[in-house]
Structure 1
């Protein structure tokens, strides 16, 4: 089915705005998929949680319709306001989609009110992250699990970034496997590409990109470099930055904290590094790791969920333990062998080109949208349906 009359409506993560994407240096990365989808669709609407500061994006992003919380309403009231706009969405061929699980309940409510299909997308396991951060038997973890159960069972299709996440939806929440699609995070491989820019001369350099918090295991990463003949560059910010800078100074660790860097500048930093390292305790489907692999840099990752699904140790990167000595051992093995670095770098680039290019992911997204459009907006005779409710439904038993 053609998608030229389909209206894709994307709801942002709860509390997230276009301005935050811009300030975090990831606006272009996050919009790349929707720019690629746009020529195939009738409309794309971005529903953000931004306030007046998001108004300027109506001018800056004319290819998208933008809805934002101009009245600074509380989230629950903003959700009610959005629900009041369902009438025009009901008249058209609208497909709702969430960007992440947190806030997907709003997308689900809108889709049900408008009687339109809903795609619940999750780039990481929201409840699992909550358990690891807050504790397994805490109220936030319980609420996250309840939200996941409601959203994924209520969705017409569920999109997750890894096979492990897909299996968990079925095991933990009883979601039918037929509803689940694994669509990975993508990489703009033309931008993140080996371009002949060699690593910086002099002392070997390792690069870390990510939030400076407990999940990323940055404290042990710093300690691993205490006795290594290498410098460590860290891109990112977070609650532990001051503590980590003090630790590096106290221990005499050769580390530079670069703060946030615009996404467009990341390829330069990656290409100037000898290797990339991400020793996290857990991940979803880590974009920074994939981007480093796309640049043809050898990578080291913590032997953890999310990373194990990307790195096959010894083939396209190295997996390491999470203690300083284990991180140091893996780093040293790469620093001492240019042959190993070259082998892993070539395989890393090949992995990205075969699995997670923007073109490949765009095709997967279009296939999903066509499937939903065909199911909800056309009957078998080829006559357009004004509403999916026009198709017969079986009466629920019991």
Structure 2
């Protein structure tokens, strides 16, 4: 084997000895469908997109949001077995939380441009397209140093170390606040031509 293409750094451990290692996602996005997020003074919206299960880090989303000031809103897109618990938790925040459930994928882009930060603390996501889509709209993506979230978000990734776990919710909240204060450009790296170019360069 000459070349081994890994979706993220976590997959590198399974790479064969002697092969050239390339990091690249299998994601191809239609970037013409994504508008760029526009900054709105005073708006503070943190967005989560994903299935409502433990591996998506939903408990960390809740923990982080509890640390944010009252001027922040949380929008959750997705459905799953943890929805009932999430709805019960959200009742304590009055109108600060919107649970949209599962929506058409084509509608997600509309919510990306209305958000300020994507919070995606997945524990085992190989190549989550949601982080690439958010980066395409110019959103910062707050994530953990696990899986492929940061790679998918590119320069818009705001990476938080999973250790120590005791204050992880607090550190995620601080990362959200810090990301909100920075300017981020749209990241549009996952195209049909990117994989072809990568392989041509490897064999040139």
Q: Which consecutive residues of structure 1, in runs of 5 or more, have no partner in the other structure?
A: 1-152, 372-398
The match for 2:79 is 237
With over 3 angstroms needed to count, the CA separation of the structure-2 counterparts of 1:273 and 1:320, relative to structure 1, is same
Task: State the secondary structure of the residue aligned to 1:288.
Answer: helix
How does the TM-score come out when normalised to structure 2?
0.77
C-alpha displacement of 1:290: 0.8
CA offsets, 1:164-188, max 9 Å, x none? 42x3223xxx57737x875412222
Aligned to 2:7: 161
In the TM superposition, what are the counterparts of 1:304-319 in structure 2 within 5 Å?
304-310=146-152, 316-319=156-159
Shift of 1:193: 3.7
For 1:212 and 1:321, the matched residues in 2 are separated by 22
Alpha carbon RMSD of aligned pairs, Å?
Answer: 3.2
Match of 1:325 among 170, 173, 196: 170
Normalized per residue, which structure has more helix? 1
**Cα–Cα, structure 1 residues 240 and 199, in superposed 2: closer, same or farther, change >3 Å?**
farther
Structure of greater relative contact order (alpha carbons < 8 Å, 6+ residues apart)? 2
Report how many aligned residue pairs link the two structures: 193
Contact 1:282 1:307 in 2 (8 A): no
When normalised by structure 1's length, the TM-score is: 0.42
> Secondary structure at the residue paired with 1:225?
helix
Larger radius of gyration: 1
In structure 2, what is the Cα distance between the partners aligned to 1:260 and 1:158? 35
For residues 321 and 254 of structure 1, do their structure 2 counterparts lie closer, same or farther at Cα, with a shift above 3 Å needed? farther
Q: Secondary structure at the match of 2:151?
A: coil
| CA–CA distance in structure 1, aligned partners of residues 60 and 120 of structure 2 | 11
Cα deviation, residue 299, structure 1:
2.2
> Offset at 1:321?
4.6
Deviation string 1:38-72 (CA, Å, 9 cap, x unpaired) is: xxxxxxxxxxxxxxxxxxxxxxxxxxxxxxxxxxx
1:189 is displaced (CA, Å) by: 1.7
Partner of 1:64: none
**Alpha-carbon distance in 1 for matches of 2:129, 2:171:** 23
What is the distance in 1 between the residues matched to 2:199 and 2:156? 29
**Alpha carbons of 1:275 and 1:239: their partners in 2 closer, same or farther (altered >3 Å)?**
same
